[in-house]
Amino acid sequence: MIEVKVDNEYSALKSVILGLAEDMGDPPKVFDVYDPRSLYHIKNKSYPSEVDVKKDVESFYKILIKHNVDVLRPDNIKNCNQVFARDLGFTISNIFFQSNIVPNREEELVGVSGIINNLDAGVVKLPDYMHIEGGDVVIHNDKLFIGTYSGEDYSELITARTNQESISYLEKMIPSKEIMSINIKKSNTDVFENVLHLDCCFQPIGKRKAIICPDSFVNKSDVEYLISYFGKKNTYLAYGQEAYMLISNLLVISPEVIVSDKRFSKINTWLERNDFLVEKISYKNVSKMSGLFRCSTLPLLRE
């Protein structure tokens, strides 16, 4: 059986599911994509090849192995993009919640079913009315931050992945956690006005450290709260091109080690000044599909 326990984003990572770039198939057609960043790269003929995506993911795999993380992989499904394992579920303390994801991605759940069936934990299959994906769930000890969208046009936005009903459900399921709902910007077509998941604009990287992209939030009050909570001197604020490059979507392997893209020179310098060992690899090709390091990983056990 596979041990399960996660209470934050930064304790030493012991076991994780890492996405798979095998057999992704041909690049999707314009009418098949469900996020504006992928749409942008398809239209500009810059959507990544399977070979290049696989190279990125395997570089990440080697870093995880280097730091003694037990890396589990989904079963391979032909002609299926299985890179973004994060959205398929999430662990809160010793409970694993299996996500209800957009219909286009349901086949990905089959690839991780064998792992889920072997978890040494309570596994909760969320009710059908609950829409939630793991990238919108950020756990921080006694707090749970959940990215959502509460606009009246929710049903028209395929980029809106987590609804208010899911928050009400989790409040009942996990009364020990204080849940904070955070509205993030959504657009089906404008890559600069869309935040696919909360971890694309916010992530705690320590007990009192966080990365925040202020322009990605609907409500300024949420940004002010997060900066106040973590402390301005402990918070890296990303705007413009940095936010567009998804620099909050790093992966903390331990309180001392973090994985980042080698393109992110400014935040990498900030992290090193804050005593992190920064493992720098190229993840440029994966990023063209709307995710980075956190999106590619589904932690099962942290110390």
DSSP one-letter string for 225-281: HHHHHH-GGGEEE--HHHHHTTTT--EEEETTEEEEETT-HHHHHHHHHTT-EEEEE
Q: How far is CA 37 from each of CA 47, 88, 147, 161, rounded to the nearest angstrom?
A: 9, 20, 19, 16
pLDDT tens, residue by residue, 65-98: 999 999 999 999 999 999 999 989 999 999 999 9
CATH of domain 2-302: 3.75.10.10
- Which one of 103-107, 156-160, 245-249 scores highest in mean pLDDT? 245-249
Q: What is the pTM of this model?
A: 0.92
Segment 31-43 shows an average pLDDT of 76
Residue 178 has pLDDT above 90, yes or no: yes
At residue 24, the pLDDT reads 87
Ramachandran region, residue 94 (left: φ > 0; alpha: ψ -120 to 50; beta: rest): alpha
Whether residue 109 is predicted with pLDDT greater than 70 in this model: the reply is yes
Residue 72, CA distances (Å) to 18, 58, 95, 111 in order: 6, 13, 18, 11
